[in-house]
Amino acid sequence: MLGAPGAGKGTQAKMIAEKYGIPHVSTGDIFRANIKNGTELGMEAKKYMDQGLLVPDELTVKILLDRVAQPDCGKGYVLDGFPRTIPQAEVLDKALSEMGDAIDYAVNVDVPDENIVKRMSGRRACVTCGATYHIEHVPPKKEGICDKCGSELILRDDDKPETVLNRLKVYHEQTQPLIDFYTAKGVLKTVDGTADMQDVFKAIEAVLG
């Protein structure tokens, strides 16, 4: 799954996993599971994370391959959050081909930057229970107050327009080249991410067949 932060690719990845009965493989989740279970790879990744460093690509790919080699990935899987850069995509491609595997589709959920800024700056989170709302799409019953626990709702720092624009800049510099990479391989499929969530999913279903 490709797409800018806030494009909704995580939501779509979960819906694909559910519909097709395949695992939703998110690198963040795999790291957490490996660290929690105290695996050798998890402990190695933790060393970097504890220092606030990025986990090196080779190690990330090792952990990812370990996950996709599990029996539940036999029918396929949805990759979410990886690869983010060309070097990661190249390491992943090489490793998959050695396993006799390959990426079938790179689905790009395309949303213009201005839509993303508007979408994310409309988000509100509860300071107490963490419930999330959107002032336009999922508003609370009472403005600024959480329906579930009655606490205050805030605009998180990472959803503020200036932070979102900065994240988008990083995305365009690092991840946008992946679109060209997968286009050249003939596996890129782009869907309009500005449509309603269910319509975006229908477009993805049409691609996956």
The residues carrying an active-site annotation are 9, 84, 123, 156, 167
C-alpha–C-alpha distance, residues 101 and 47, integer Å: 30
C-alpha–C-alpha distance, residues 63 and 92, integer Å: 11
User: How many other CB atoms are there within 10 angstroms of residue 192's CB atom?
Assistant: 11
- Using left for φ > 0, alpha for ψ between -120 and 50, and beta otherwise, residue 141 falls in alpha
Contacts (Cβ under 8 Å, ≥6 apart) of 80: 1, 9, 10, 13, 24, 25, 26, 27
C-alpha–C-alpha distance, residues 80 and 111, integer Å: 17
For 7, which DSSP code? S
β-pairing verdict for 132-134 and 123-126: antiparallel
